[in-house]
Amino acid sequence: MTGAPDVHICEVAARDGLQNLDVFVPTEAKCELIDAIAAAGIREIDAGSFVPPKVVPQFADVDSVMAHALQHKRTATIGALVPNFKGAERAIAAGVGAIYFVISASESHNLANVRRTIEEQLDSFRAVRSALDALPVGGRPRLMGAVATAFGCSIEGPIKEAAVGRVARGFAEAGADEIGLADTVGYGTPGLIKDIVRVARSEVGPQMPLRLHLHDTLGTGLANAVAGLDAGIRSFDAAVSGLGGCPFAPGARGNIVTEDLVFMLERMGLSTGIDLDRLMRTREILSRHIAPRHLTGHLHEAGIPKALRSAA
């Protein structure tokens, strides 16, 4: 992978986008979706989660999906979310290029999500880091620590800056390669985005890569992305057709729409390396299996104006 774009986008539809659906998306459709995402030039794909099927039935086929996704590892980093050390062991065995380990800044959300305290989760993260360090250097997946509910929680409400800083610092001290700040339930606002990024940066230092994972619950998703850009962020998670949500925030809308984000960034003069026309075709794959109410996106509703198409 050469010629790094101005802004890096990780596509999370195959994992975060599908995990809370009430319908099982066939394995073949998941693989087709990942193929289409890779063909559009996406350089990082969150392809699934190594969790027990009884907890998230959508990922009962994660081994098969991941094996297929890894066919694209020469052009894209293929990653997986894990909730614990056992999940990380499965991800390592699968050969993923990135592991996303989640700890919530909200103690209540962390207990509801993974049934562990924040400190217990940090212990598990340290164990994952040790397991990776035991691997040959060239065979180690990148390890990202994701701070969930960094901008608010549907259980606890507003989250104190110190709570976010505590988890971010814990990740950094434990050896994270990157730290993500997640607006898990979509309560963030542009001002809050800047404040939390500033706090996290002060805790982890100038060299630690940071990324934003944004949801669009209150319609502020793209505005928050711009705020992130202003704060120096150049890596974002997004999902085609705005898929996603949080099981602890009923009715919450999904992730920011990848298609809309790419269009906005390119119109701002920032390269993404993504073929927007190809990315738009993922809607056809999704619409065969997912109810229209789950699929959003301004570009899909309005189309790309002909006068702007050459600049998109």
**Residues acting as catalytic residues:** 246
Q: Residue 119 to residues 113, 167, 193, 199, 226: CA-CA distances in angstroms? A: 14, 9, 25, 20, 33
Tokens 């065979």 map to which residue?
Answer: 139
Residue 232 and residue 213 in contact, taking contact as beta carbons nearer than 8 Å: no
**Which residue matches tokens 């499965």?**
90
Q: Which of 249, 190, 188, 176 is nearest to 215 (CA)?
A: 188
Give the count of beta carbons closer than 10 Å to the beta carbon of residue 64: 14
Provide the token pair at 288.
Answer: 């065969």
Helix axes 85-94, 62-69, angle to 10 degrees: 40
Q: For residue 94, give both structure tokens.
A: 């699968």
Long-range contacts of 302-308 (CB under 8 A, 24+ apart): 304/263, 304/276, 308/267
For 154, 179, 198, the CA distances from 188, given in Å and listed in that order, are 12, 18, 14
Residue type, 284: E
Pairing of β 142-148 and β 210-213: unpaired
